[in-house]
Structure 1
Amino acid sequence: MTVIAIMTFLASLTVGAVTLVSDTASQWQNDISREITVQVKPEEGLDMAATLGVIRDLALATPGIADATILDDAATARLLEPWLGEGLDLKDLPVPRLVVITIDEGKPPDFFALATRLRAAVPAAELDDHRAWVSRLVTMARATVFVGVAVLTLVLIATVLTVVFATRGAMSGNRQIIEVLHFVGARSSFIAGEFERHFLRLGLVGAVAGGAVALVLFAAMGLWTTSNRATPEADQISALFGSFSIGWAGYFGVVVLIATVGGLTAFTSRMTVMRHLAAIDMLSPVER
């Protein structure tokens, strides 16, 4: 029971982590795909304010663009604050400026044509449609899901092997009783059913214990990040994983995992007993 609880706990952590990373990557992908940015590098003699205005007007005149916003000095300083500290004077620094463009997801613009027009109007402008970031996020999410499924498979295989050895141990301790029952006419299904019910109970208790601990851990992390949003630690976790909530999909996945472990435990013990009784039937009377 303890081993099954530990295995279920590790498998539940895997299910929750895969769900969390997949949902967060999907959210990042949606957020990135809704916006593009135009970066303007400062050059000598360039009127930055007028140049940003030209880019904004050109973007708003392009079909498929919903909005365009110039990041002012205060917003740009906040972006650089973690690295350069507070009280920045952007006039003394050659800091590129940004225009954030919101696209119409139903009718996105022609990014190549937009980049060409921007470069013709402002040679110092550079369009970033975030396709490289989106591709990396999708790749990361797929790799995470693959690794999670592989780990989950290994944990389930280890659980099956554990049940097999436990069933064999239980049969070895009750070998004479099992053989007497078998030889006096007890059906193999009856004997296997007794082992099946016993290990089903053990498997469910262990799986529920391990899964419950994992769910409590995820819930506690979610409450901690929610109640400590102003701290740097919680901000970092929120930036990576949002609210650190696995959602209903994650909770449902853990419940399904618990039921699977319990059923797999019972099925494995039944098959082990049936194979052992079938082996007894194939023995000669002398060998018996």
Structure 2
Amino acid sequence: MNENRVPRRESNPPPQQQQRRSEMRVRPTGPIVPSVNVSGHALMCVIAIMSFLGCLTLGGVSMVRATAQSWQSQISREITIQIKPDDNLDMERALADARDLALTFSGTTGGTIIDRAATARLLEPWLGGGLDLNELPVPRLVVVTIDESNPPDFAAMRKALTETIPQAFLDDHRTWVDRLVAMASTTTMIGTGVLVLVFSAMVLTVVFATRGALSGNRHIVEVLHFVGAEASFVAAEFQKHFLRISLKGAGAGGLLAALSFALASFWQSQTLATPETDQATALFGTFAIGYTGYLGIFGIIVVIALLTTLTARLTVMRTIYEIDLIRSDPGRTDTFQG
């Protein structure tokens, strides 16, 4: 025997067989849950609408709260001294004395006498133009700015003004501030209640829409479970599917709400000093919601995505549990209908 015989080289497989093996290696596996169907599109639209409404309500509440706080801050920074006219009173001197007396108290930062022209402009919306204040018993005002963190003693200031100028009356705006605080609190509570209702409706809608979408794929769950797939594996596949749907829908709704606030703010900045903008600003303030409002919109998007994913998982687990109950009951031959 020839010990130095060269070993025989195995022949290569035919080219067609090599190509078939290559295709088998690179062929991607299809998703367990159909990625595109009618129920998925409907659920995405529902999530987008409810996300838009929730984000719009949250932004509105934030805007109203910011406007109310601004009003409260502006009112609480000033006090007003009102001097009624009298035949034996030198009004200009009384105004100057009242301002100087108020500035002697600690906590005051400045004082301004409202002149005749400014007083006439204040009364013009009610009494019309061309007013002659000498013919009308119109009180004159002194506006005193105060330090909000260290306000003056209003009782002592009121007593000193009354003793010096009997016609003077100090208005510290406490009544208006209390009313404004009550109004702001009521508005915030109403807005929060609306937000809770919208969010509750969104929760219920997402739950029922998710269950409806899963009921159409119940046969997939049954087949996978019958061939030995674990419940956690099936639930994870459905979670991925509904997470993608919820992120797309919630992201679209949140982006549309943020874009609406941005466009409203841009419109307001471009139409200043017009009657429409002045009325809108007087009622609602500025349409800017700030970074906290946009963070709230992002938070709603995340909550909706997590809620939809959790609902899908719980629904799949419950479906598999019901299938196991049917299989464990030999007396039942019917198939459970969800």
TM-score band w.r.t. shorter chain: over 0.9
| Structure 2 unaligned residues grouped into runs of 5+ | 1-43
| Percent identity between the two aligned chains | 57
Q: 8 Å contact 1:164–1:272 — kept in the other structure?
A: no
Q: Paired residue for 1:91?
A: 134
Among 245, 249, 256, which residue is 1:202 paired with? 245
In structure 2, what residue type is equivalent to 1:213? L
Name whichever structure is richer in helix by fraction: 1
Find the residue that maps to 2:82 and give its secondary structure: strand
Q: Paired residue for 2:86?
A: 43
Q: Does 1:226 align with 2:276?
A: no
Question: C-alpha distance in 1, partners of 2:210/2:151?
Answer: 61
Q: Paired residue for 1:31?
A: 74
CA 1:153/1:187 → structure 2, altered by over 3 Å: closer, same or farther?
A: farther
Among 176, 181, 204, which residue is 1:161 paired with? 204
Aligned residues, how many? 288
CA-atom RMSD, angstroms? Answer: 1.8
In structure 1, what residue type is equivalent to 2:230? R
Among 92, 95, 101, which residue is 1:52 paired with? 95
Question: C-alpha distance in 1, partners of 2:212/2:263?
Answer: 38
Q: Does 1:248 align with 2:291?
A: yes
Q: TM-score, normalised by structure 2?
A: 0.80
Q: 8 Å contact 1:200–1:265 — kept in the other structure?
A: yes
Q: Paired residue for 2:282?
A: 239
Find the residue that maps to 1:39 and give its secondary structure: strand
Q: 8 Å contact 1:40–1:124 — kept in the other structure?
A: yes
Q: 8 Å contact 2:261–2:287 — kept in the other structure?
A: yes
CA 1:266/1:208 → structure 2, altered by over 3 Å: closer, same or farther?
A: same
CA 1:169/1:286 → structure 2, altered by over 3 Å: closer, same or farther?
A: farther
Find the residue that maps to 1:168 and give its secondary structure: helix
Q: Deviations over 1:209-244 (max 9, x none)?
A: 211221122112111111111111211222344432
Among 112, 118, 130, which residue is 2:155 paired with? 112
Q: 8 Å contact 2:47–2:249 — kept in the other structure?
A: yes
Q: Deviations over 1:174-209 (max 9, x none)?
A: 222211211222111222222222222221211122
Find the residue that maps to 1:54 and give its secondary structure: helix
Find the residue that maps to 2:89 and give its secondary structure: coil
Q: Paired residue for 1:65?
A: 108
Question: C-alpha distance in 1, partners of 2:217/2:197?
Answer: 30
Question: C-alpha distance in 2, partners of 1:128/1:280?
Answer: 75
Question: C-alpha distance in 1, partners of 2:241/2:278?
Answer: 47
Q: Paired residue for 1:185?
A: 228
Q: Larger C-alpha radius of gyration, 1 or 2? A: 2
Compare 86-95 and 119-128 and name the one that shifted more. 86-95
Q: TM-score, normalised by structure 1?
A: 0.93
Question: C-alpha distance in 1, partners of 2:70/2:201?
Answer: 34
Among 116, 123, 144, which residue is 1:80 paired with? 123
Among 299, 311, 331, which residue is 1:268 paired with? 311
Compare 212-221 and 146-155 and name the one that shifted more. 146-155
In structure 1, what residue type is equivalent to 2:234? I
Q: 8 Å contact 1:5–1:207 — kept in the other structure?
A: yes
| Structure 1 unaligned residues grouped into runs of 5+ | none
Compare 135-144 and 32-41 and name the one that shifted more. 135-144
**How far 1:163 sits from its partner (Å)?**
2.3
CA 1:46/1:269 → structure 2, altered by over 3 Å: closer, same or farther?
A: same
